[in-house]
Structure 1
Amino acid sequence: MMLRLVRFFGWLLFVLLLVVFAGVLYARKVSNPVLSGTLTLRGLKGEVSIVRDRWGVPHIRAQASDEDALYALGFVHAQDRMWQMEFQRRVAQGRLSEVLGAAALPKDKFLRTWGFYRAAQAALPALSARSRSLISAYTAGVNAGIAQDRLPLEFRLMRYRPERWTDVDSIAWSKLMAYDLGGNWDDELTGQRVLSKLGAAGLNAVLPPYPANAPTILSSQELNLPSVARPTPAPLATSSLPADALRQLHAQLAAAASLGFINAPGKGSNDWVIGGQRTQSGKPILADDPHLSLSAPMLWYLADIQGPTLHAIGASIPGLPGIVIGRNDHIAWGVTNVNPDVQDLFIEPAGARLQTRTEVIKVKGQPPVNYPVQTSAHGPVVASSSDWQDGQQRAVTLQWTALEDGDTTFDSFLGLNYAQNWKQFTAALSSYVAPSQNFVYADTAGNIGYYAPGRVPIRTPGWDGSLPVPDDSAHRWTGYIPFAQLPHVLNPTDGLVVTANNKVTPDSYKPFLANNRVWAEPYRAERILQRLDTGKPLTLDDVASTQLDTVSLVWKGLEPYLLQTQPKDDLSRTALDLLRGWDGNETLSSVQASVFEAWLMKLEEMAQDEVPDVRLTSFAVLNQLKTGGALCRNASANLGSCADELAASLQAATTDLSKRMGTDPSAWAWEKLHSSLSAHGAFGSVGAIAWIWNRGIATPGGTNTVDVARPDSGTFHQTHAPSYRQIIDLSDMNRSRFIGTLGQGGNPIGSHYADMQPMWRGGQYIPMSSQAQDWGDTLTLNAAP
């Protein structure tokens, strides 16, 4: 009987695999785009050629107009990534439940509450005539791609067709990118919780201020700006939001996290620009690697677009017109997140005037849901409760620059595509609103520079914006820091600007960007400076090896404290001995990396007996071990000191590792434990079919290494990574390099779905060249009106 059952289920599995395989082959046949030949495309003004190189990167050449070049970009985006664009659009609109069912309702409610798509609708009229024209051309190209009727497998599985693309759709995803990169409202909630339980000293322990001796992006000597009055922070309040309001706010955080928007420790980016006096060529080199959530398909789409006056190559985002990060024939630019404080939570007074609208959320297989959404003068109501001490009904509202009218950020990014010098570059950035970014700059004339544009609010004196506050006259936004007073420098005397989400300016800079807890830990910035400030002329290969550096300065700081640990058992002792003499390089074969990262993961939990679910940063762990901090102690676990915490956490880490990889620590290679996870937005968690789309590969690096690869707690997956790398050579633009995390395509069986992944992991690049001799084997599609 048992044998029959085994045979039956074996045949059933075989049949299911055959069905899936046949379906995938069918999808490949009907979904793959037309890549060669000639097409007639309605809406073009003239002839366009689209040459895809050996990696699937399109090189677009439009003869008649720049609008045709953007039309063609929209067309290839739709050809290669239409499901990704559709999913991103539905996220921005809050319309996931229409296709995913009731399980997506919490996501849609969060998205409708915040009003991302409404903010995009309000932004479109504020854009320049040139931007509007280019966006409309891009939209026409997307719709021409949809009309080809070669839809991805996802649409066939869900049995629907995408609606026509609109100009607002081309702006909408940028609002979600602003959320992912430009907010601290969750930090305000964490700060409130910690403050209420541990007081101001505990807040400093859990969320330590940026260290005074750590590098800032700009020095005092590089800042030559007029001063404005800096507010003197008031004493921190200790009142808590009611439990009911907190529940609502944390439900929204959970919904955002389920969409991939997670404020993870160590998430960030690197970029830097090197002046000609430091390079072998005598011309600048510019590098950038933005660290974002991994996804399948990858976020970025590499492209080379040329019209009569538009010549740009670099990383685009499907659904958005133009090159976001890259170069043209004259300048190059890169971005990392500034993370100024541009969000505030306000507690409205009882009886405050609120506006109410009803959002109708369609749900697959169920009746529509009428969902009321309220707004105040500050912005959306994100929680409402009567569970205050006086029993009155009060709303918690959010003010955020990205939700305000008049967002002209698209003018900036499209302007960068055209800029030919520093003056035009900064003129483009003057329209920038959100999310504020560290822009590094270089040009073929040999100039380098830096600017941190964006709307940064000026708050009433005495308020630092770090915690939720009452809506009263003491807590107001009174304007924005003027563009000319935002941090910037042209041609710094030392010929080097390095950014790694670290603190932007020293305290001598008076405009108030953010409280001193928001900046990333300084480890990546310190390591990049170590690698670049060698006194030797630097080459492209030197810059590439810096981008790929996996030496942990976190280990270097913690090493003397960790090695003093008194092990509790033989397994701990063996693991600790392996760490002695380790150089901190978290390579794929490193056993020490496994021990260290697993141990650090346990140490980061040391505050959870006081404040559940709060994880410390590696810098906060170091501070506790240095000072014998109170967070080391845990009465319920019988831990009375940091020595006890070290021994217990090492034992917990080695026990965990032994369960995952066996009891022989010499076999605990990092590559067995640590791998990237690029998951599909809709089907990535559907166990039976997730494997079709999801991709992963063993990766080097770890917490706060330059090649950032922080493992997620509990899984050791790397879900945030350098999502794109570029190195631009201003002595010969076509010697520049770039690479993405997976590939250009959206079809999981297509040849370009993940062909870049091994190269990305291995530190290789492809030519960032607009010259045909660098493209390898090509396919050419010619289009005409």
Structure 2
Amino acid sequence: MLLAVVALLPGCAALLPRPVGVEQRLAALPRDGLALQRPVTIRWNDHLVPWVEAETDGDLAFALGLVHGHLRGAQVSLLRMIARGRLSEIAGPLASDIDHALRILDFGRAAPAIEASWPAETRDFVARFLAGLNHSLMTGPRPPEYGLLGLSREPVTTADLLAVGRLAGTDINWFSYFSLLAERGSPGFARRWQRVLEAGAGTGGPATAGEAALGVLLRSVSRSGSNAVAIAPARSASGAAMLASDPHLGLSLPNLWLLAGMRSPSFHLVGMMVPGLPIVGLGRNPDVAWGGTNLRAASSDLFDVSRLPPEAFAESEATIRQRLWFPARRRVRVSPEGPVISDAAVVPARPGDVIALRWAGHERADEITALLKAARARSGAEFRDSFSGFAVSPQNMLWAGRDGSIGRVTAAILPSRAGFPQADPVLDGSDPAATGPWRRLWDARDLPRLENPADGVLVSANESPATWAKDPPPIGYFFSDGDRVARLRALALARPKLTPQDLAAMQTDTVAPKAALLAAGLLARLDALPGGAPDPALLAPLRGWDGDYAAESRAALVFELILAKLVPALQPEAGGRGPETGWNFLTTFLLHDLDALPAARREAVLRAAVAEAAPVAARYATWGEIHRLRAAHWLVNLPVLGRRFVLGLHPVGGSRETPMKSGHGLIGGPHEVSFGSMARQVSDMADPDANWFTLFGGQDGWLGSAAFADQVPLWRERRAIRLPLRAETVATEFPRITVLRP
């Protein structure tokens, strides 16, 4: 006990953070010994959003790195620890199995080849960004989390930066693959795999606690969701193209995006940056606005490599340092088809299986150069062509141009597959026909694109490419249900002329059309029971329900409570978790599975679901009473101490597949939303200043800062911060000035 108390003493600054004002945080920005060529001006608004003006591109990169380190130093350090498989240095032996899996995945594997292939301008920009980032990390104030987590000051290397970038590109298909490995060959596997393919969703439930922890960790940092909408001038009230984008990620604080504006000889833009990376993922320059959604492409394949000879494997030993304990040593093997992921204890493969993972993120691709080019694009065509070297995470990138063009490009590197396996997700690593597609890779030049559609509307929401592209090549297994696309398109086409306010309202819409269809289908089957539907008062709100998951909705509450009782009864082997509880499965199979039951069994299941939901529904009046948004620092995941980092719980609308996504599984009562819409962007190309952004959280990662969570009210109240491009507007709306001198 004494040892635990002593270990926590350095963490008091995190457990009991002192309030820090905006002016104090600005005053703490490191300003001495800066490796600049010319003075740099940083203007700040009240939310600590920086607008950087530099006379050289190198000085811009340095200043951006300095700002990233100052505002998000602890977050950058933690991302590096995850990407490098060093969590045991924070959490001790509890994290050693997770670290082993991360070492096997090796997010930095391709870093040397990528760095060697960089053009000079990328190499220089990254080097200067890292110089600024490390100056801040090494000389600036020590973040409060460092003491609690046992972190020390450590410079970020180019290899670290590239590993963090690939970490953010995690293939979301891994979670589905891994959850199925232990069941391969079992009596029910063939049926389950076929249902997975038919539903087109595979967000499987974890088989072990370790797999669950790895899944939570990777999902929290990977770009796994999002909506994006591009509107042609003919449908715009301003007569110019418009774009709206809202990424879906973990809802922990600080946000996984950082807002910034910038200008130098080559760059003039505003947008969202990933902390610790020198790129703008979503944004706007004078000529192009862009956003994107996860393509959900299968950028990985699993291979059975058990038949390969021993000499085909490269083997090494990973030393995992552990906080307050001795180092652990684990085996890491790499086959010709990638690292042997089945060696990780948290991956539940069958005994004796030797399964390798081949991933596009291990290839020599270059997302940083692609996004630096995109940031400088002067037309939609230039923007589109920037992505030929972009690999992970696979994205649907949408743009709107000042010239009136709108378009989408499939930004990915994928194997040139002829199709997908129908019997087993694991391919034969000794079969040249199975491994051959990885010898010839497709990129954005080979994959579907679409420009200037006749109806003037482009919508993306992680949907299958088959819904918009003619004869697309095999891209993936698992895509989102079409609800968000259908709803966003309906809203976009409902008005002859759309305004930026209309696009902002679309981002906060809480209607799921297929929920209304499912509710109507359930009511029809309940009404058909002998004597009619049970508990008419409980079911009354569902009659005529339009699928709106507004926080004030009674119908959404009743519907979800009934689903939570009904689904496990239909698929008892799933135990109320796993892919059978996902939205694609519900919309594909729920009514079908009900109708396939014998009449007596169907009646019993329906009556039981209503009867079991009724007592819970009697305790709550609305969806928002049980569906609550958690605003919390990522330290909430700490055992015992985590609840100290919850800032608040708020009623919230939305659901799994509403445009304003607020993810959840089956629910039996109050629950916390920790994944969903966590940032918003709207741009109107008619006006360089017409750009609005909001983060769930705030700009500053410093615990106690006035800008740590100051945008949460804006996010909840559907307001936004304007990020202009005109110098005179920036001067007015970003009144605080910091001048950095060489």
Same fold (TM over 0.5): yes
Tell me the residue number matched to 1:99: 90
From 207, 211, 216, the equivalent of 1:253 is 211
Are 1:673 and 2:626 matched, yes or no? yes
Distance 2:380 2:277 in 1: 24
| Equivalent in the alignment of 2:637 | 684
2:501 corresponds to which residue?
541
**2:538 corresponds to:** 575
Deviation readout 1:470-524 (Å, 9 max, x if unpaired) = 2223312331235433111222222221111111135984452335x41210011
Contact 1:558 1:622 in 2 (8 A): yes
TM-score normalised to structure 2 length: 0.88
Q: Deviations over 1:642-695 (max 9, x none)?
A: 44333322333334445xxx2xxxx42222211123443345334435333655
Instruction: Tell me which residue corresponds to 2:691.
Output: 736
CA contact (8 A) 1:193 1:611 kept: no
Matches within 5 A, 1:167-206: 167-179=158-170, 181-184=171-174, 186-187=176-177, 189-190=179-180, 193=183, 196-198=186-188, 203-205=193-195
SS at match of 1:476: helix
The offset of 1:742, in angstroms, is: 0.6
The answer on 1:424 being equivalent to 2:382 is yes
1:557 aligns with 2:557: no
Confirm or deny: 8 A CA contact 1:354 1:376 kept in the other structure.
yes
Alpha-carbon spacing, 1:392–1:167, altered in 2? closer, same or farther (3 Å): closer
In structure 2, relative to structure 1, the CA distance for the partners of 1:640 and 1:168 (3 Å cut) is farther
2:653 alignment counterpart: 700
Provide the C-alpha distance between the structure 1 equivalents of 2:516 and 2:660, rounded to a whole number of angstroms.
16
Cα 1:704–1:267 change in 2 (3 A) is farther
- How many residues align? The count is 713
Residue 232 of structure 1 is matched in structure 2 by none
Structure 2 CA distance for partners of 1:557 and 1:203, relative to 1, 3 Å: farther
Question: Which residue number in structure 2 is paired with residue 287 of structure 1?
Answer: 244
User: How far 1:453 sits from its partner (Å)?
Assistant: 1.9
- Contact 1:676–1:719 (8 Å) recurs in 2: yes
Query: Residue 11 of structure 1 aligns with which residue?
Result: none
Residues 734 and 375 (structure 1), Cα distance of their counterparts in 2 relative to 1, 3 Å cut = same
User: Which amino acid is 2:721 matched to?
Assistant: I
1:445-464 equivalences in 2 (<5 Å) = 445-459=403-417, 463=421
Report the alpha carbon displacement of residue 429 of structure 1 after superposing the two structures with TM: 0.8
Change in Cα spacing, 1:160 to 1:504, as seen in structure 2 (3 Å) is closer
> What do residues 521-566 of structure 1 show as CA deviations (whole Å, max 9, x unaligned)?
0011111111011251111111111111112213221122222326
| Residues 137, 193 of structure 1: alpha-carbon distance in 2 compared, 3 angstrom cutoff | same
In structure 1, what is the equivalent of residue 306 of structure 2?
349
Check 1:512–1:305 CA distance in 2 against 1; reply closer, same or farther (3 A cut). same
Equivalent residue in structure 1 for 2:582, among 594, 601, 617: 617
Moved more, 114-123 or 170-179: 114-123
Contact 1:345 1:468 in 2 (8 A): yes
Aligned to 2:607: 647
Say which SS state the counterpart of residue 397 (structure 1) adopts. Answer: strand
Q: For residues 319 and 189 of structure 1, what CA distance do their matches in structure 2 show?
A: 31
Bigger CA drift: 131-140 or 195-204? Answer: 195-204
Q: Return the letter of the residue paired with 2:358.
A: Q
| Distance (Å, rounded) in 1 between the aligned partners of 2:441 and 2:388 | 13
The DSSP-based 3-state class of the residue aligned with 1:477 is helix
Give CA deviations for 1:548-603 in whole Å, capped at 9, x if unaligned.
11122132211222223269999954321232233332222222222222323344
**Match for residue 465 of structure 2 among 504, 509, 528:** 504
Decide whether the 8 Å contact of 1:459 with 1:476 is kept in 2: no
Who is 2:132 aligned against? Answer: 141
Tell me which of 36, 42, 50 is aligned to 2:34. Answer: 42
- Name the SS of the counterpart of 1:169 in structure 2: helix
Aligned to 1:487: 448
Residue in structure 2 matched with residue 596 of structure 1 by the alignment: 559
Contact 1:38 1:781 in 2 (8 A): no
How far apart are residue 128 of structure 1 and its match? 1.9
Matched position secondary structure for 1:261 = helix
1:359–1:591 CA distance, 2 compared to 1 (3 A): same
Q: Which residue of 1 aligns with 2:3?
A: none
- Mapped contact 1:290–1:723 kept (Cα < 8 A): yes
After superposing the two structures, state which structure 1 stretch, 443-452 or 30-39, moved more. Answer: 30-39
Moved more, 255-264 or 347-356: 255-264
Cα distance in 2 for residues equivalent to 1:413 and 1:431: 10
Deviation at 1:766, TM superposition (A): 1.2
Structure 1 residue 339, shift from structure 2 partner: 1.4
**Equivalent residue, structure 2, for 1:296:** 253
After superposition, give the CA deviation of every residue in 1:242-296 in whole Å (9 maximum; x if it has no partner): xxxx9998566324224152799x9621101110011111110111111112121
Counterpart position of 1:153: 144
Q: Contact 2:41–2:740 (CA<8 Å) still a contact in 1?
A: yes
1:762 aligned to which of 708, 717, 721: 717
**Cα shift at 1:379:** 0.5
- Does 1:124 pair with 2:115? yes
Contact 1:383/1:396, CA 8 A, preserved across alignment? yes
Alignment of structure 1 residues 294-443 onto 2, 5 Å: 294-350=251-307, 352=309, 353-383=312-342, 394-404=353-363, 406-443=364-401
638, 661, 664: which is aligned to 1:711? 664
Larger deviation, residues 76-85 vs 567-576: 567-576
Structure 1 residue 20 displacement after superposition: 6.5
Superposed CA deviations along residues 603-622 of structure 1, whole A, max 9, x for unmatched, are 44345423444333334324
Q: Mark the CA change 1:558 to 1:37 in structure 2 (over 3 Å): closer, same or farther.
A: closer
CA contact (8 A) 1:207 1:616 kept: no
Pairwise CA distance, 1:29: 9.0
Label 1:645 to 1:124 Cα distance change in 2 as closer, same or farther (>3 A).
farther
Relative to structure 1, the CA distance from residue 379 to residue 445 in structure 2 (aligned partners, 3 Å threshold; closer, same or farther) is same
Is the 8 Å Cα contact of residues 110 and 252 (structure 1) preserved in structure 2? no
Contact 1:606 1:631 in 2 (8 A): no
Residues 1:727 and 2:682 are matched in the alignment:
yes
Structure 1: unaligned runs, 5 residues or longer: 1-15, 212-245, 386-390, 634-638
Q: Which moved more, 1:667-676 or 1:444-453?
A: 667-676
Partner of 1:85: 76
1:53 aligns with 2:45: yes
Deviates more, 1:85-94 or 1:528-537: 528-537
- Tell me the distance in 2 between the aligned counterparts of 1:477 and 1:483: 20
Tell me the SS of whatever aligns to 1:739.
strand
SS of residue in 1 equivalent to 2:275:
coil
* Aligned residue in 2 for 1:162: 153
State the match for 2:592 in structure 1. 627
What is the distance in 1 between the residues matched to 2:30 and 2:179? 56
User: Which region of structure 1 is more displaced relative to structure 2, 519-528 or 455-464?
Assistant: 455-464
C-alpha displacement at 1:188, in angstroms? 6.9
2:702 corresponds in structure 1 to 747
- Equivalence for 2:16: 24
- C-alpha offsets along residues 15-53 of structure 1, whole Å, 9 cap, x if unaligned? x9xx97997355849996334899334211111111110
Q: Which amino acid aligns with 1:523?
A: D
Is the 1:623–1:629 Cα contact (8 Å) retained in structure 2?
A: no
CA shift, 1:187, in A, is: 4.0
Task: Kindly state the Cα deviation for residue 738 of structure 1 after the two structures are TM-superposed.
Answer: 1.0
Of all paired residues, the percent bearing the same amino acid is 26
> Any gaps of 5 or more consecutive residues in structure 2?
1-7, 345-349
User: Match of 2:426, as an amino acid?
Assistant: P
Q: Distance in 2 between matches of 1:307 and 1:73?
A: 12
Any conservation in 1 of the 2:679–2:693 contact (CA below 8 Å)? yes
1: CA distance between counterparts of 2:206 and 2:522?
40
What does residue range 520-531 of structure 1 map to in structure 2 within 5 Å?
A: 520-531=480-491
